[in-house]
Amino acid sequence: MTRGSSSTLATATADYLFCTNCRKVLRKEKRIRVSQPSTRGPSAFIPEKEVVQANTVDERTNLLVEEYSTSGRLDNITQVMSLHAQYLESFLRSQFYMLRMDGPLPLPYRHYIAIMAAARHQCSYLINMHVDEFLKTGGIAEWLNGLEYVPQRLKNLNEINKLLAHRPWLITKDHIQKLVKTGENNWSLPELVHAVVLLAHYHALASFVFGSGINPERDPDTSNGFRLISINNFCVCDLANDNNIENASLSSNFGIVDSLSELEALMERMKRLQEDREDEEASQEEMTTRFEKEKKESLFVVSRAFDDDIISTSDVSRYIEDPGFGYKDFARRGEEHLPTFRAQDYTWENHGFSLVNRLYSDIGHLLDEKFRMVYNLTYNTMATHEDVDTTMLRRALFNYVHCMFGIRYDDYDYGEVNQLLERSLKVYIKTVTCYPERTTKRMYDSYWRQFKHSEKVHVNLLLMEARMQAELLYALRAITRHLT
């Protein structure tokens, strides 16, 4: 990204929108240019003053950026993440290590792999960032014309990039063997682990970018000789009557009373679940039944505004193959043969961590710290309530993401997911996690209406890390099977 560029969002053009009604119009006139409303600050979802206040209060953020930032400045992602400064340090350290420190892959490869990963979700923000970084680290400009211009060994990552991004449960040891087989285009296992970590990181980071409404850093017209893709796909229909972001969070027709009653109801459900857990534990058979029920119910958690027709711009598709390949529910009908990933059989703590650390020194420690940080992060508050134990809620969010990826924890009662996560929140979680490019401000505003924006950012951090861990578990399990 351009150093010192303005954070003000210039009026941008969208090549496509994901609102069904808009899309019908755009299909008739393929080249129509649609202006998007301008919003200020690092996020289109969060009032600018809330993020700015956090940055001015916490001077440590600036020190972290100086030490670990790859862009050399306080970019929009960092500004929004700084609402949780403790987590931000773990994030910046791990990302800096992946991109800058000693590792199996050359620096330009790392940024090009980030571009390939971000392109799976049409995330222009991350693509634009790493196009610049790719060139700064000595990347060959011709590669930016598309995959046909890159070395064959990079092209060979297409399949695992596609599967990791959308259906990681389909990854097998055969995919690993094809990549590491003897030949001039083969990948060593350390190189492959580095690539997999980068792919999973940037798939998940795309979820955070869209889920938090991260604004572009500059006017997305041209960069490095090619036209940049559109800004994050916030639909004009969602923002048309809600351009004043400063007043957006409580300006809807939902009253304060409704929001408060929603909050009180959630608090009451948490209390009741805790009491029930202390009184009587469900049997393993019942726990299994509840997981299968939740897994199947996730099939019906969809946004009415969307269908399966995913549109990809030519600017994005140059970096990917099979752009129409996307998330399909793990539990979809007719695919009962897919076995559930029992988390106890291959855990991050006992298996994934040691493998990734052995093949790509120290990254395991950094990732482990980041996973633990976001999972345990709490201020013991819920909206206006203080001294609240939010462990149950955080675990429900994390485990629901893993449930959608077919990962089951034997010791978790999935009945809690239905009790704690209301439908609008489930729609938001599934969208952000599985097809983040479809996220809209309306979805963001529709859940936890009385909660602080920092609490919603915490949700996005949990979703991002749960997603990354799920992708890594499937990929590392396949690598382990290849080795045994």
Catalytic residue among 22, 123, 235, 434: 123
pTM of this prediction?
Answer: 0.83
Dist CA 251 CA 242 (whole Å)? 8
- Pick the closest to residue 106 from 147, 153, 72, 148 (CA basis): 153
pLDDT attached to residue 303? 53
- Which of the four pLDDT bands, split at 50, 70 and 90, describes residue 227? very low
Query: 478 with 172: CB under 8 angstroms?
Result: yes
Q: Does residue 314 surpass a pLDDT of 90? A: no
Read off the pLDDT of residues 12-54 as tens digits, 9 standing for 90 and up.
333 333 344 444 444 444 433 333 444 579 999 999 988 887 7
Q: Does residue 144 surpass a pLDDT of 90? A: yes
- Rank 192-196, 291-295, 359-363 by mean pLDDT and report only the highest: 192-196
pLDDT attached to residue 172? 95
Average pLDDT score over residue span 180-198: 94
Dist CA 342 CA 15 (whole Å)? 42
pLDDT attached to residue 102? 94
Read off the pLDDT of residues 228-273 as tens digits, 9 standing for 90 and up.
444 444 433 343 333 333 333 333 334 444 555 888 899 999 988 8
pLDDT attached to residue 294? 67
Dist CA 219 CA 41 (whole Å)? 14
Dist CA 298 CA 301 (whole Å)? 5
Read off the pLDDT of residues 443-458 as tens digits, 9 standing for 90 and up.
999 999 999 999 999 9
- % of the chain with per-residue pLDDT over 90: 58
Dist CA 62 CA 145 (whole Å)? 35
Average pLDDT score over residue span 460-483: 97
Average pLDDT score over residue span 345-373: 95
More confident position, 255 or 204: 204
Read off the pLDDT of residues 72-121 as tens digits, 9 standing for 90 and up.
778 999 999 999 999 999 999 999 999 999 999 999 999 999 999 999 99
pLDDT attached to residue 329? 79
DSSP string, 366-435: HHHHHHHHHHH---SEETTEES---HHHHHHHHHHHHHHTTEE-TT--THHHHHHS-HHHHHHHHHHHH-
Strand pairing of 13-14 and 222-223? Answer: unpaired
Decide if 19 is catalytic.
Answer: no
- Which of the four pLDDT bands, split at 50, 70 and 90, describes residue 331? low
Average pLDDT score over residue span 420-445: 94
pLDDT attached to residue 64? 83
Dist CA 403 CA 329 (whole Å)? 10
Strand partners of residue 223: 226
- Which of the four pLDDT bands, split at 50, 70 and 90, describes residue 295? low
- Pick the closest to residue 429 from 447, 415, 416, 454 (CA basis): 447
**CB atoms inside a 10 Å sphere around CB 278:** 8
pLDDT attached to residue 224? 44
- Which of the four pLDDT bands, split at 50, 70 and 90, describes residue 283? confident
pLDDT attached to residue 336? 55
The fold of the 48-212 domain, in CATH, is AhpD-like (1.20.1290)
Residues of the chain with CATH 1.20.1290: 48-212
- Rank 69-78, 179-188, 294-303, 429-438 by mean pLDDT and report only the highest: 429-438
Three-state SS letters, 299-367: HHCCCCCCCCCCCCCHHHHCCCCCCCCCCCCCCCCCCCCCCCEECCCCCHHHHHHHHHHHHCCCHHHHH
pLDDT attached to residue 225? 42
Query: 82 with 55: CB under 8 angstroms?
Result: yes
Dist CA 1 CA 4 (whole Å)? 9
- % of the chain with per-residue pLDDT over 70: 74
CA-angle at 218, arms to 112 and 161, nearest 5°: 25
